Amino acid sequence: MDADNSSKASDDASQYCSIGEAMKLISHPFEGDKRKLREFIENFDVFFELVEPSKHDVLLKFVKAKITGEVRSKLMVRDLTRSWELVRAILEENYATRFTLDYYACKMFSARQSKNESIASWGHKIDEIQTDLREAIRRVCKPDKILGAIGPINHLGKACFKQG
């Protein structure tokens, strides 16, 4: 029985990566550029899933080290940075650009491919608008309604891509 438990423990440990491996994937610090906030947050959301939960406190220290300048000062002033969720909330509160659902829906429906714009660039633009719209929906919908609200957005993005 002990051999089975130790085998299971080693299997669980092998599904996680080390903090060093995770940190190698972050090349740029977050300095307050609103356009880079989403990428920074999404990267660390993934890292917190990839690193063993018992090491999350250490990973959080590395996250804070990747936050520099004025942004770091905001975190230091707000002594509520004991978890990634709290740090992420402070970053989003201070640096996320947020508009209404109407804004993103109108932006999606009125989007057009520029004359000299590549298909890949056009597709990327629609993907970004979809992501913004999904985030706006998550902010205003109750948790039990989110899936129903987000589902049609993927189809809207495809329609807008074809239309553009």
pLDDT, tens digit, for every residue of 78-96? 667 888 988 988 888 888 8
Instruction: Provide the whole-model pTM.
Output: 0.57
Residue pair 101/137 in contact (Cβ under 8 Å)? The answer is yes
Distance CA 11, CA 7 (A): 6
Give 142's contacts (C-beta < 8 A, 6+ positions apart): none
Residue 7: pLDDT band with limits 50, 70, 90: very low
**E-strand spans in the chain?**
none
Encoding tokens for residue 78?
């707000």
